[in-house]
Amino acid sequence: MKIIAIGRNYAEHAKELNNAVPEQPVIFMMPDTALLKGNKPFYHPDFSKDIHYEVELVLKISKEGKYIAKKFAHKYYEEIGLGIDFTARDLQSELKSKGLPWVLAKGFDNSAPISEFLPINAFKDLNNLDFSLKVNDQLKQQGNTGHMMFSFDEIICFVSQYFTLKKGDLIFTGTPAGVGKINMGDRLKGYIENKELLNFEIK
């Protein structure tokens, strides 16, 4: 399986990092070794002093597809979960300043904690879906799919023009504003609507 991630999909997040608001989805990828499941602790790596949390909704692809038309995209996912895209911001900034790819800052081991997945029919409206992140019980990020620049279906349509999507692939769909630094001892809790799906410690 592969992990595809969408950058700058919420305009306010792009602005908070002084990035241009994109005209088409910004794509990057992570290896499967980035996944961290079961609310296991995240161990802060030594190569970064400035790792940021970025909470995101995650789609799980349910069947193989390529060149998927937007009107059919909803047929390619049946479950949704919550994930954190941990980003070594200091490393990312250094690599970006040199014009280099920033996979090292995004795809390192355990950089992508994910929750269990829920059936999409458990939610009334995927285009008006709230999600949030608390750090030490303080609300840090709050997003709604209605604020996405590119919807789930638009993302699947776009990505599938370049990559064949296969059953089990994961798509991280972008983070809202409010990202920030993690510290040892922090506890992160993530929610879709009011359902707690993530609850783990930084060690």
**141: Cα separation from own chain's centroid:** 13
Q: Which two tokens stand for residue 47?
A: 């190569």
Rounded Cα–Cα distance for residues 135 and 112 (Å): 16
Q: How many CA atoms lie less than 13 Å away from 144 in the CB half-sphere?
A: 5
Q: Is the Cβ–Cβ distance between 203 and 186 less than 8 Å?
A: no
> Token pair of 155, please?
């993302």
Between CA 160 and CA 167, with CA 161 as vertex, the angle to 5 degrees is: 20
Kindly report the CA angle at 20 between 15 and 24, in degrees rounded to 5? 120
pLDDT digits (tens, 9 = 90+) for 63-113: 999 999 999 999 999 999 999 999 999 999 999 999 999 999 999 999 999
pLDDT value, residue 23: 86
Please name the residue ranges forming H helices in 22-178.
Answer: 89-97, 103-106, 152-159
The values of phi and psi at residue 97, to 5°, are -65, -25
Q: Which two tokens stand for residue 9?
A: 């999909």
Question: How crowded is the C-beta side of 145, counted as CA atoms within 13 Å?
Answer: 22
State pLDDT tens for residues 9-32.
Answer: 987 765 666 667 778 999 999 999
Mean pLDDT of the residues in the chain? 95
Q: How high is the pLDDT of residue 52?
A: 97
Per-residue pLDDT band for 200 (boundaries 50, 70, 90) equals very high
- For the segment 127-145, what is each residue's pLDDT rounded down to a tens digit? 999 999 999 999 999 999 9
Tell me the average pLDDT across 30-48: 97
What does the pLDDT read at residue 44? Answer: 97
